[in-house]
Copies of this chain bind each other. A is one copy, B any other.
Amino acid sequence: METKRPLILITNDDGHAAKGLHKLTALMRTLGDVAVISTDEVMSAKSHSCTIHEKLRVRLIREEAGFVEFRCNGTPVDCVKLAYQKLLPRNPDLVVSGINHGTNAASTVVYSGTIGAVVEACMNGLNAIGFSLDSLSPEADFGHTDTAVLQITKRVLKKGLPQGVCLNVNFPKRSDEPLKGIQLCRQANCRWVEYFKEQFDENGEQYYDLSGELVSDDIVSGTDLFAIRSNHVAVVPTCYDWTAHACLETMKDFETISI
């Protein structure tokens, strides 16, 4: 008797034309039925934002046996909401996002549209994984990611993830050496140091161009940044409970503040 193929929902934040999306789609089609819902525009750094003030539009792009593709003018989070609540015949067995062009390791996760989609799925009880590559190049080489993407996905399809937990998977840029293996990591602490370059437009009006670099004093064993730098695949079990639980004891004196 044939086992039912799993239904896998794919989205990303680099838009429908991204090489990383096509790579992930090709890989997932070997594992199950696939629905892709990507964004019209590049949605990098859109975090967990969703569309509440503009008109949200969706177009069916392609449909064939075991495959359907939509495109949406919203954010990655909108894509996930729309897909599982309106567009798909049933809840997907898994939501995957990526493969992102650019790392989503360490604290930069807070800016990520790729991981926004993953967290949204997780909040709704769906298994979800975000895949990212430490290269911003549109022509980035994803060839070294195939086996790990497939094996991690198979593991999650088979055993599921704990409730309230999704995966943030980051790959190092391709090097001459093969990947050394998977490391289960905590998110390293880091921040962007930005440069706001003052520019002037054609009307002489000032604006700012944002650029910057990632700085971290936390690239130590056990972190995702350390894993990537040593050519490992970094897997961070990720949650949306932002409570600093240790402080629930140490800051108890707040309850004595007279209001």
Contacts and interface: CB of A to CB of B under 8 A. Distances in A.
A255 B183 contact: yes
Contact of A257 (B151, B164, B199): B151
A82 B208 contact: yes
Given A56-B208, A206-B57, A259-B148, A124 B49 contact: no
A68 to B, nearest CB: 17
Interface stretch (A25-33, A38-46, A90-98): A38-46
A42 B47 contact: no
Nearest to A201: B55
A49 B111 contact: yes
Contact of A58 (B208, B237, B243): B208
A119 B191 CA distance: 11
Q: How large is the interface on A (under 10, 10 to 19, 20 to 34, 35 or more residues)?
A: 35 or more
Contacts of A254: 152, 155, 182, 184, 235
Nearest to A183: B255
Interface in A72-104: 78, 81-82, 85-86
A143 interface: no
A50 interface: yes
Interface string A47-67: 111111101111000000000
A258 interface: yes
A57 to B, nearest CB: 5
Contact of A241 (B53, B168, B186, B235): B186
Which of A194, A210, A245 has the most chain B CB within a 10 Å cutoff? A210
Contacts of A49: 45-47, 49, 111, 113
A74 to B, nearest CB: 9
In the complex, the count of this chain's copies comes to 2
A78 B52 CA distance: 20
A220 interface: no
A189 B122 CA distance: 12
Nearest to A73: B207
B55 A207 contact: yes
A208 B57 contact: yes
Contacts of A127: none
A92 B182 CA distance: 41
A36 interface: no
Given A107-B241, A124-B191, A165-B244, 16 more contacts: A48-B48, A48-B110, A55-B207, A57-B208, A151-B259, A155-B254, A168-B242, A184-B247, A184-B248, A184-B252, A184-B255, A187-B241, A236-B242, A237-B243, A237-B251, A240-B242
